[in-house]
Amino acid sequence: MSNCIQFVAHKTFEPFYNLRRFDFDLPKSIKPWRATAERVTLIALPFISLFKPAGRAISGVMGGVRVFTHLEQVGFAIYKKDIWLGVKQVALLALAVTSLVAAILQFQLGLIVSTVVDMGMSLHRAAQHLVKREYALALEELLQAASLAFYLSILLTGSMELTLLSLLLQGLVSFIQAQKEWKDGRHPEAISKLAMGCIRCFQGYQYHQLIQKRNVYLLEERFKKLIEKIQKGRETASLIHSPLQEEKERVVLFDADGKAYDFGTHFHGQGEGVVKGMNLEFRTRVIDGKEMAELDFKVNHVFRDRIEQVVHDLKSFSGDELKDFLYFTQSHAKGIKIEEVPFTFTSDGTGNKLGSAHQITFDGLGTVTIGASPNMSNIYDRVKVVLEGEKNLFQLHELLSFFNLDAALHNSSEDDIERLKIGQLFRIYHPKEALKLERDAKYFDLPIDKLIDEIIDLAPSMEVTLRDRLPEMETTEILPGRVRYTDPSIAGEVVKLGGKMLVSTITAPFESAADSLASILKMGMLSSEVRFDHGMKIHGMSTISDFYTGGADSIYTQLLTDSTAKKGFQLDNLYWGDIRLLLSTELLNTGTYQYPADSFGTRKVPGNYQYRPNIFKFADGQENYFHWSNEVMIKERVPPSMIKGVVVPDEAMRAKVFDALQVKGLVETDSLGSKTILGKPAFDFIQVSEIVTDKLLSL
């Protein structure tokens, strides 16, 4: 119900003036003091309602008065035993209660209901006057009904032309009523009606000037594009039952010291082709003491280039031009300010700052931050939206529509998901050819069958790969709700080629390395970008440079092969460090990128990235010509379940690691009284070796 009410509030428009038939609210009374009070009230209320905030309050109060009026009349009908009057008043009471409840739930919904009710009552009165041949009164009621009909159409369409007609019609009705009131000797009412007619005509004149100003604006193409975006922002019917409206538990991870980190709420299968990986993350942030909702996602390269043009177009408007046009279209935003700021990873302003960003503030809606450092791909593709106050999904949609990113909130179709899986396979098996295609608009625009034909033209062997592997693809969760598509056959094929284990070295002095190890065993290994985003301490060999090379969203690992065990490869010939994590080759199923020798995890184009081997050529090459600095990049997170063990150089270090983990609560006692870590016997989990052995590779 609340989603529907929010939808009504978003889709409808609120006129700048209030219109209500107050004479329907007040009971008719023959008592002199009540009759006088009614006359004074009906004279004063239209003028007080000219002040919009007061008009809102008065509408609510008078809605309650109308309920009381009809309730009183129901009692009177019961007292008089007048069945027809009772039925009529019960019906009117039901309508009054409906209007009041609608207004309580949502003011604009209440306006719609009360306007429809008033229009119906006006038409009913007009019919009664026609039956009695009271043509002047019937005409007045028909004009009142027409005025209410115009007001209703404004609520539903926001048309400026209809607003002008409504104001002029209300002015005409007021003049007709003034003439009648003067003729009946009700001079105060006549003067007030005349004054109100003049006010409505003056408002109409002002509105005519606004329409002319808008029409001048619309002669420019850039204004036409802006109005298209604003109108598209209100096309939100598909969001009423969107999965994004569902309550979903936040992901909270605890480090070894028990400190909680909020990893937000994740939704997969959103964004059609716009959102990279079709993953959205929603978080709650406290900014300046206020709790606000934040949306974070990445866009695919093709769409990122288009966003830059949109930002450029917005900059071409002056602040006053934007305010005018937002007013003309009744956007929920009241003004737009564009700034160039450092990219801040946490929106509360306390997080790490790196590179630059476009920060676009929409007064009354929220703020959109878009990475603006082309040389830092992990930042350049980022879009973060912070909503003000109690805003909802529909207003978020409106905000994103300014950048043609409204599709980010739409459910992905089966074809969208199929396209994502096809792209993942192409990238795994033919990285060089895939790189060229995935940065071309036709990758997103071609129908699936045509896309497959294009891929096969670029890499003929993909015909067999797509036939055999596409139906077998599975999903794995990086975090609960955050999904990546996997090919479950990769690890087995790599093992056949000699790749047996992934290893990652904690490159830090023992004290901090032990703390890091404990947190990794609790939370998993996290990429630099993930840690930056969630306000965690950053430790690593090249944390900042990872953002320049593009590897910040990945975890650096290395592949150990059969040949390293046969040759007794010295572990200290890998990256320096006393503690090394041994990781399952099943991580390769998620789709990785890799280099035969250290390339800093680069994703720069042009550069090594476009010449990287696929995982199978890489594994075969390492088995035959192992290089100590090879690197395999795992996306975002390695869960604790993928950690097979830890290797240290000697028994003294093993004891230190065991003690450190025990202090952090990572060492448990099983039902037989044995000490375990991650469900394995503790001293099987912590291995001692200075060389690669078959035992290490078989953990």
Pairing relationship of beta strands 637-638 and 279-287 according to DSSP bridges: unpaired
The C-alpha atoms of residue 207 and residue 4 are separated, in whole angstroms, by 32
pLDDT higher than threshold 50 for residue 270: yes
The whole-number average pLDDT for the span 656-667 is 94
Single-letter amino acid, residue 477: E
The C-alpha atoms of residue 245 and residue 262 are separated, in whole angstroms, by 20
Instruction: Express each pLDDT in 314-347 by its tens digit.
Output: 998 888 888 888 888 888 888 999 999 999 887 6
> The tokens of 120 are what?
């119906």
- Averaging pLDDT over each range in 68-77, 237-246, 400-409, which range is the top one? 400-409
| Cα 276–Cα 282–Cα 288 angle in degrees, nearest 5 | 130
Please return the burial class of 625, using the count of CB atoms within 10 Å of its CB with bins 0-12, 13-18 and 19+. exposed
The reported pLDDT for the residue numbered 647 is 97
Of the pLDDT bands very low, low, confident and very high (cuts 50, 70, 90), residue 349 is: low
Identify the helix (H) or strand (E) that includes residue 556: strand 554-561
Does this model's pTM top 0.85? My answer is yes
pLDDT higher than threshold 90 for residue 449: yes
Q: Which of 503, 292, 250 is nearest to 388 (CA)?
A: 292
Yes or no: say if 473 and 490 are a contact pair by the CB < 8 Å rule: no
The C-alpha atoms of residue 49 and residue 45 are separated, in whole angstroms, by 6
Cα dihedral value 507, 513, 516, 521, nearest 10 = 100
The reported pLDDT for the residue numbered 64 is 80
Q: What is the DSSP letter of 299?
A: B
The C-alpha atoms of residue 114 and residue 106 are separated, in whole angstroms, by 12
3-state SS class at 373: coil
The C-alpha atoms of residue 283 and residue 264 are separated, in whole angstroms, by 4
The C-alpha atoms of residue 522 and residue 518 are separated, in whole angstroms, by 6
Q: Which of 362, 292, 355 is nearest to 334 (CA)?
A: 362
**DSSP labels for 26-73?**
SPP--SHHHHHHHHHHHHHHHHHTTSHHHHHHHHHHHHHHHHHHHHHH
Q: Rounded to 5 degrees, what are φ and ψ at 596?
A: -65, -30
> The tokens of 541 are what?
């060999």
